[in-house]
Structure 1
Amino acid sequence: MKNRILTGDRVTGKLHLGHYVGSLKNRVELQHQYETYLLLADVQALTTHFENPELIKENLRQVALDYLAAGIDPEKSTIFVQSLIPEIAELTAYYSMFVTVNSLKHNPTIKAEARARGNSEMNYGFLGYPISQTADITFCKATLVPVGEDQIPHIEQTRKIVRRFNQLYKPILVEPTALVGEVPRLVGLDGNNKMSKSMGNALVLDSTKDEVNEKIKKAKTDPSRIHKNDPGNPEICPIYAYHQAFNKEQSNEIFEGCKKGQIGCMECKQKIAGSINDLLEPMRDKRNQYQNNPKRVDEILMSGTERARQIAKETMLEVREAMGLNYFS
């Protein structure tokens, strides 16, 4: 059997260029090597959108369109909806019985995200996110989970939960391995934070050509450059970081030109806007095709969810038998 990958996104809004360079581009490549399951995490989106659940319906379809436009092939990858796999919720409940609150509180990723969001009192769903994530990974017995280094603690928590379950009951669950890659963090258009739609510093993947040009035009650059011929510091300039991500061939030339004051910020921005639009143009075309055929998108999601559900049912039969919960079989 091919190694099976589980990855996905919380459906909190359209994906942006940061998502593309950080994970989506890699997923498109990995689907040709591995059996790939892509999770539309609508339940986990409620950890921050519980007051506005009506937003999730639209966000779910927008993220699905982002996947398909970027090159995810529904014949190679199974795209499925988390809330429509009740076995994930059942597994989450079982795991939560033997995972301590203390271990969750000390998960470094949870601690960091809590600080960033200013959560003095975390809700249960947010605190228990690693348990829910473990259920996502294990219901389909994924062997590999693509992550950046900052997500390794989550995968370690998953491995501990799997080992504990297998020791307590029966060794039926697969202990997944983190597929660690270099996940670049794309600086936001404001130059101060990672790209994030909630911070208003992102370029979403369905941006029009004019929107890209306008947002890049207003993006922050090296604050020390006042005049076109002033020597610059490209290593601290967000626009140069975009050249490294989307215009690699010219990035060395841009670096030297900026350092020597031979290229102005406006010219530099025009070049990177052109490169980004070259990347997004085929995505726009493919997105329009799917957007004009919403029935096809729904078919892809329903078909993928049905495939995932079938695997979930098989796993839960084994889980209930191992735990002695198959009362009437």
Structure 2
Amino acid sequence: MDGPFVSPGPGLVPFRRRDPNPPGDVVNTTPQAVATADAATTPSTDALGTSAAQDRSAVLEELILKDPGRFRVLTGDRPTGRLHLGHYFGTLHNRVRLQNLGVEMFVIIADYQVLTDRDVADNLTGHVEDLVLDHLAIGVDPQRSTIFTHSAIPALNQLMLPFLSLVSVAELGRNPTVKDEIAHSRQSAVSGLMFTYPVHQAADILFCKGNLVPVGQDQLPHLEVTRTIARRFNDRYGNGTTVFPQPDALLSSAPVLLGTDGTKMSKSRRNAITLAADADETARLLKGARTDSERHITYDPRTRPEVSSLLLLAALCQNRTPEEVAEEIGSAGAAALKRTVTEAVNEYLAPIRARRAEYAQDRTFLRGTLREGNERARAVADATLAEVRTAMNSHY
């Protein structure tokens, strides 16, 4: 689920805990309502697709800088393995950026969603703890951002039933992201949970009344289901009030980093450099990274994707442009390129790895972080479910 690049922010800092059910102008005010004049001239993402979403994202970035406290973000990951550099530059450090700007952040570890595309959830406890470690290491502050697990929030999952009544089977079947997930499913048969994945995700977003969701382009159809559910619930049960905001997409501007085999970096493809990897493992993986036969190093993503991805990785770590890195290497060849990238990555990740190792030694703090996050998320979800029951006249 994320956006633009910045250096990871400072570590944990003191913060006054927010009320679990903040005032209506925080929870119920959508970004559209925040900037009436801006939104009036900006097309919504509903019908116009990615171009409109990109335009809207530019407006949202300005609004975040002006008044970050009006936004509540829901983002997160499935616990299927350790997070890697593709995750970091694609999504993770944008979470830290938004947190440090003052945006309220909910980070979901979507353990139930692991079951959507696999028969069993192997080593789930270890994967959940790894995700918490990775987030703490990069600078997500559990006093300012709520880190919680899906399965620990019963009220969140109870929202699924009324939400499912608001969408048709045909609408779910047409969702392109669901089609893609089904096509790449590891299961011998498609489960009902897979088919309802967009509604499950809508419950994740709307339980905390998130009004801003950092997403990649491929996630826009899912977010549109969430917006549809929010709109239909308000129309059917709101009695003239807004129970749920229609969340906006904050589109990622992150370039895609390739894995060491030249394909998309992925946990399942074993071609990724994880945040937890040590310096020697990083050097070994990058030494085997695919390049090409041309000795002179240039940045040309279209014709030299593998070389260009390595240059981009070094540039991101060194806060330079890929062209500058390429010019410095010149005709020294692939070996020099890999040395440059290895040094850049290991230097950049050194403080993150040090913090991760330190947190890993204190499992009590780790589990306490998750327990406190679960408690805060439960309080928010319980309040939302109570409001839903009242709106539906089912509060007995």
Instruction: Give the TM-score normalised by the residue count of structure 1.
Output: 0.92
For the pair 1:326 / 2:392, whether they are aligned, the reply is no
Structure 1: any 5+ residue segments left out of the alignment?
none
- Asked whether 1:241 is paired with 2:297, we answer no
User: Which deviates more, 106-115 or 148-157?
Assistant: 106-115
Number of the residue aligned with 1:251: 322
Q: C-alpha offsets along residues 220-250 of structure 1, whole Å, 9 cap, x if unaligned?
A: 002x32xx4x576753223223234333426
Determine the C-alpha separation between the residues in 1 that align with 2:216 and 2:117: 22
Q: Give yes or no for the alignment of 1:264 onto 2:338.
A: no
- Of 173, 177, 180, the match for 2:244: 173
Deviation at 1:29, TM superposition (A): 0.7
Alignment partner of 1:188 is 2:271:
no
Call closer, same or farther: CA 1:121–1:244 in 2, change over 3 Å.
farther
How many aligned positions are there? 319
* Aligned position for 2:4: none
Q: Could you say which residue in structure 1 is the equivalent of 2:29? A: none
State the match for 2:89 in structure 1: 21
Which amino acid in structure 2 is aligned with residue 240 of structure 1? L
Alpha carbons 1:234, 1:240 under 8 Å: kept? no
Per-residue deviation, 1:115: 2.9
Q: 1:91 aligns with which of 159, 163, 175?
A: 159
The CA deviation string for residues 110-141 of structure 1, in whole angstroms up to 9 with x for no partner, is: 22333344778522111111100000011111
Percent of paired sites with the same residue: 39
> What SS is found at the alignment partner of 1:298?
helix
Judge which range, 135-144 or 231-240, deviates more. Answer: 231-240
The answer to whether the aligner puts 1:50 opposite 2:111 as a matched pair is: no
Give the structure 1 partner of residue 369 of structure 2. 300
RMSD over aligned CA atoms reads 1.9
1:153 Cα deviation (Å)?
1.2
Deviations 1:82-130 (A, max 9, x none): 1010011100122112311211121122223333447785221111111
Q: Which residue of 2 aligns with 1:63?
A: 131
Within 1, Cα distance between the matches of 2:368 and 2:119?
27
1:149 is matched with which residue?
A: 217
What is the alpha-carbon distance in structure 1 between the residues aligned to residue 349 and residue 140 of structure 2?
Answer: 15
- 2:58 maps to none
Describe the shift of the 1:45–1:120 C-alpha distance in structure 2 as closer, same or farther (beyond 3 A): closer
Contact 2:261 2:289 in 1 (8 A): yes
With structure 2 as the length reference, what TM-score do the two structures score?
A: 0.77
Residue of 252, 273, 282 corresponding to 1:212: 282
From 262, 270, 285, the equivalent of 1:200 is 270
- In 2: Cα distance, 1:231 partner to 1:133 partner: 43
After TM superposition, the structure 1 = structure 2 runs for residues 74-113 of structure 1, keeping only pairs within 5 Å, are: 74-113=142-181
How far apart are residue 54 of structure 1 and its match?
A: 4.5
Q: In the TM superposition, what is the alpha-carbon distance from 1:16 to its structure 2 partner?
A: 0.6
> For the structure 1 residues 104 and 265, does the alpha-carbon distance in structure 2 shift closer, same or farther, using more than 3 Å as the test?
same
What is the letter of the counterpart of residue 17 of structure 1? L
Structure-1 separation of matches of 2:206 and 2:317: 35
Report the alpha carbon displacement of residue 294 of structure 1 after superposing the two structures with TM: 0.3
Which amino acid in 2 is paired with 1:251? P
Amino acid of the residue matched to residue 173 of structure 1? Answer: F
SS of residue in 1 equivalent to 2:213 = strand
2:194 alignment partner, one of 122, 126, 141: 126
Question: 2:394 is matched by which residue type in structure 1?
Answer: L
Runs of 4+ deviating beyond 6 Å: none
Match of 1:161 in 2: 229
- The answer to whether the 8 Å contact 1:186/1:194 transfers is yes
